[in-house]
Amino acid sequence: MASFPAAHRAIPSMRTPPHRTLALGVLLLVGTAASAAPEQVHYALIVASNTGTEKGQAPLRYADDDGARYYELFAPRSREVVLLSVLDADTQALHPGLAAKTRPPTHAALDDALARLNGRMAQDRARGQVPVLSFVFVGHGKRGAAGEGAVSLLDGPLTRTALFSRVLTPSKASFIQLIVDACDSYFFVHSRGALPVGPAYAEAVKGLLGGRELERFPQVGVVLSTSSEQESHEWSAIRSGIFSHMVRSALSGAGDVNGDGRVDYPELRAFVAAASQGLDDVRGQPRVYIQPPALDRAFALTDQGKAAALGYLLVPTGLEGRLWVEDSRGIRQVELHKERERPLVLSLPVGRGYHLRGPGKEAAFTLTHAAQVVDAGGLPWRESTVAARGAVEDAFRDKLFSVPFGQRFYRGYMASFGLTPPSEEADAALAP
């Protein structure tokens, strides 16, 4: 496992108060504690399409934007990232040069990308490395008459059968992270039966998906936006799907509840639950299904200790409340509701300016080079205003991320499922 860059390791010696170096010190342990473990190498295949293949499916507005942002999330962390999408004019303007790196989301392009990545991952395994593939789909989904789920490519649906036969079965990845933000995404992975609600939902989540195809793939973890026949929701204020925005925020460090520099599946599940808890209207409240790979239930979706090409924003103890980070393009990169007691580190792309914002306030900062660390506790704040955008926009703005996320929420959330947090030892590192 790669250690943090030298510039990051030097931070604790810069006369910063101990409570502000604490989170960084914990992250440094990530780079050294498991140095003898086989090296993980990461790949990502992102399929994002605004277009549906079924009659009556209105085009989505921001699936291509989500695809571009997933590309930016995974690119600094991966050996290779493939984006299959058709970016509209607005998205191309926000992500100049990215369109030249994309191919249309067709069956042929998908098969070509899988073949190339499988070739590279087979070579990795021969060298004793551990290849990890993140397979992301954002777009339309549909449950057919026979109950089989499918997602829409430009030239036809990709069914659950095809997912297992063309993506999972031939994969050379040691681990696969399957992230699907689409209507009826639960049925794209699972063969029968809706996921129940209420107490029965908790029991289902604790199980190992008995009798279903996914059991044959213990190396696969799943992150699904809807657990039943629900619509996925987009929010025009951030040009993104709500669920994908939550996932990217968590994987950028906001979901790291125990300060070990990693975000695992239980942390992501709890983060999404906290972020969406304030949405009383069920039409806007995501029902998610997040399940770690059975092969390693503590497997991390992301590890900041491996991302040497990123910069870091340290949000120290004492800074609390709803916060979000927007870059110079106006793209909201990360959003969270921080508990006062826990410090955290957010990883962000370098070479651009940012604003850390909260209700009525903002602070500007810039990340110019890899491994740079900016301490949010030392940033000068100024007043700012947020324009109203209408009733629906106000509901998302006011109620998303309205619940603080940290140790208190995480432990209570896990306890509600009768589960013990998988990384209790890491929690001790945050104690003064």
Span 49-67, pLDDT tens digits: 988 777 766 778 888 999 9
Exposed/middle/buried for residue 200 (C-beta within 10 Å: 0-12, 13-18, 19+)? exposed
CA 240 – CA 302 distance, rounded (Å): 21
Paired tokens of 379: 């940033």
307 pLDDT exceeds 80? no
Paired tokens of 239: 């040009």
Q: Stretch 35-61: mean pLDDT, rounded?
A: 84
CA 88 – CA 130 distance, rounded (Å): 36
417 pLDDT exceeds 80? no
| 315-367: pLDDT as tens digits | 999 999 999 999 999 899 999 999 999 899 999 999 999 999 998 899 999 99
For residue 430, give the DSSP letter: G
| 235-269: pLDDT as tens digits | 666 788 888 999 999 999 999 999 999 999 999 99
What is this structure's pTM? 0.82
Neighbours of 391 (CB within 10 A): 7
Q: Stretch 270-281: mean pLDDT, rounded?
A: 78
DSSP string, 321-358: EEEEEEETTS-EEEEEEE-TT--EEEEE-SSEEEEEEE
Percent of the residues in the chain that have a pLDDT greater than 70, as a whole number: 70
Residue 432's pLDDT is: 26
81 pLDDT exceeds 80? yes
- Of 98-112, 231-245, 276-290, 328-342, the range with the highest mean pLDDT is 98-112
Scored b (16 or more CB within 10 A) or e, 291-317 reads: bbbbeeeebbbbbbbbbbbbbbbbbbb
Neighbours of 358 (CB within 10 A): 17
177 pLDDT exceeds 50? yes
Q: Stretch 132-144: mean pLDDT, rounded?
A: 86
Which range is least confidently modeled, 115-119, 205-209, 235-239?
205-209
- Can you name the residues that pair with 43 across neighbouring β-strands? 80, 133
CA 195 – CA 228 distance, rounded (Å): 6
Q: Collect all residues with Cβ–Cβ distance below 8 Å to 403 and sequence separation of at least 6.
A: 274, 275, 277, 278, 337, 409
In angstroms, the Cα distances linking 341 to 22, 149, 239, 412 are 12, 43, 31, 16
